[in-house]
């Protein structure tokens, strides 16, 4: 490839950090010279709509539409995404068959007012636009008031500083990638709060027919992360998951086995159902699908009507 390899990404500090990590890994894997790669920031609809819930304005696809159009138009050669922002179905002709090793999947509790969720003052305002996080917080602390809290990491931290809310949750992975782990007041164990599907995983999207890019990406693909992601994203797809649905899933690859936990909640956090699976890595996707079937049965039609 004579021209630079163009890597498309959103323009936030976190998105650019992730794209630069991908560029660095590719450079090292192929011993490329400086200038062989170009980062192309792309403004998405999701970046422009900062005050509403994603569920109200179009869902996760708002963070990918313009980037995927650039892939189709061959203005970029690959696109770097946070996999937790990706819809379960990709547009025709596009594929994600390369993921980086998973970062810390935990949510980070951040507050100037308390050391933990449990010690927040009665009736405190909790800032989040995530239906999952809101439902999980209300399940633990039904007295708290949920306030809308969208924007990039810096924007949300500023809202916290300005007193818009007493606390919030951010992904520990994002804080680590930005070199800001100390911002976390209390990283929440996954046993206590199951994270979003694929939280902490970066994926690289490409055109299906572009074998040259497939070859370039092959050495940086992390197989174990892809295996656990398959369980989580299959679970999400089986439940017709989107940002309109409070659900969570987390899988780990340990000692040659996959351990999976999935959860569905009503938006008010009053009803919570959890399913667990353990099995062979070859059955990863099946484990996620089976757990979803169990939760569909547990919830029943009335539960899903709340979504």
* Residue boundaries of the structural domains of the chain: 5-102+201-221, 107-188, 233-305
Contact 142, 217 (CB under 8 A): no
pLDDT band at 3 (very low <50, low <70, confident <90, very high): confident
Give CA separation, 179 vs 17, 101, 128, 182, 276, in Å: 10, 17, 22, 9, 33
Domains 5-102+201-221 and 107-188 share a fold: yes
Residue 187 has pLDDT above 90, yes or no: yes
CA distance 294 to 170: 29
- Which fold does the domain 107-188 belong to in CATH? D-Maltodextrin-Binding Protein; domain 2 (3.40.190)
Can you give the pLDDT at residue 259? 98
Give residue-wise pLDDT tens across range 20-39.
Answer: 999 999 999 999 998 999 99
Radius of gyration of the chain (CA): 19
Tell me whether strands 125-127 and 167-171 are parallel, antiparallel or unpaired: parallel
Can you give the pLDDT at residue 60? 58
What is the full DSSP assignment across 187-233? EEPTTTS---TTTT-EEEEEETT-HHHHHHHGGG--HHHHHHHHHHH
Can you give the pLDDT at residue 46? 64
- Which fold does the domain 233-305 belong to in CATH? Double Stranded RNA Binding Domain (3.30.160)
Residue 48 has pLDDT above 70, yes or no: no
Residue 56 has pLDDT above 70, yes or no: no
Name the catalytic one among 85, 107, 186, 210.
85
CA distance 164 to 159: 5
Contact 282, 151 (CB under 8 A): no
Give residue-wise pLDDT tens across range 34-44.
Answer: 899 999 999 88
Provide mean pLDDT across the span 237-256: 85
Structure tokens given for 181: 């782990």
- CATH class of the domain at 5-102+201-221: alpha beta
Share of the chain above pLDDT 70, in %: 93
15, containing H or E segment: helix 13-30
Can you give the pLDDT at residue 47? 61
Can you give the pLDDT at residue 57? 47
Can you give the pLDDT at residue 206? 98
Share of the chain above pLDDT 90, in %: 82
186 is catalytic: no
Q: What is the mean pLDDT of the chain?
A: 92
């Amino acid at each position: 490839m004579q021209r630079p390899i163009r890597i498309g990404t959103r323009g936030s500090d976190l998105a650019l950090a992730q794209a630069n990590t991908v560029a660095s890994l590719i450079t090292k894997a192929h011993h490329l010279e400086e200038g062989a790669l170009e980062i192309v920031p792309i403004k998405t609809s999701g970046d422009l709509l900062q005050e509403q819930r994603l569920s109200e304005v179009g869902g996760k696809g708002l963070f990918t539409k313009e980037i995927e159009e650039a892939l189709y138009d061959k203005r970029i050669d690959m696109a770097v995404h946070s996999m937790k922002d990706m819809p379960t179905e990709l547009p025709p002709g596009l594929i994600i068959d390369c993921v980086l090793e998973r970062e810390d999947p935990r949510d980070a509790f951040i507050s100037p007012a308390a050391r933990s969720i449990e010690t927040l003052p009665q009736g405190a305002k909790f800032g989040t636009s995530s239906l999952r996080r809101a439902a999980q917080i209300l399940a633990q602390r039904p007295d708290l008031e949920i306030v809308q809290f969208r924007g990039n990491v810096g924007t949300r931290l500023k809202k916290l500083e300005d007193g818009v809310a007493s606390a919030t949750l951010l992904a520990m992975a994002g804080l680590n990638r930005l070199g800001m782990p100390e911002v976390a007041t209390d990283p929440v164990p996954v046993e206590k709060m199951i994270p979003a599907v694929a939280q902490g995983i970066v994926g690289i999207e490409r055109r299906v027919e572009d074998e040259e890019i497939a070859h370039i990406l092959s050495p940086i693909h992390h197989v174990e992360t892809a295996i656990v992601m398959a369980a989580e994203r299959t679970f999400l797809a089986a439940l017709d998951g989107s940002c309109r649905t409070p659900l969570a899933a987390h899988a780990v690859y340990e000692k040659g086995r996959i351990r999976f936990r999935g959860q569905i909640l009503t938006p008010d956090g009053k009803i919570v159902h959890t399913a667990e699976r353990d099995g062979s890595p070859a059955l990863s996707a099946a484990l996620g699908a089976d757990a979803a079937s169990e939760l569909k049965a547990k919830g029943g039609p009335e539960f899903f009507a709340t979504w």
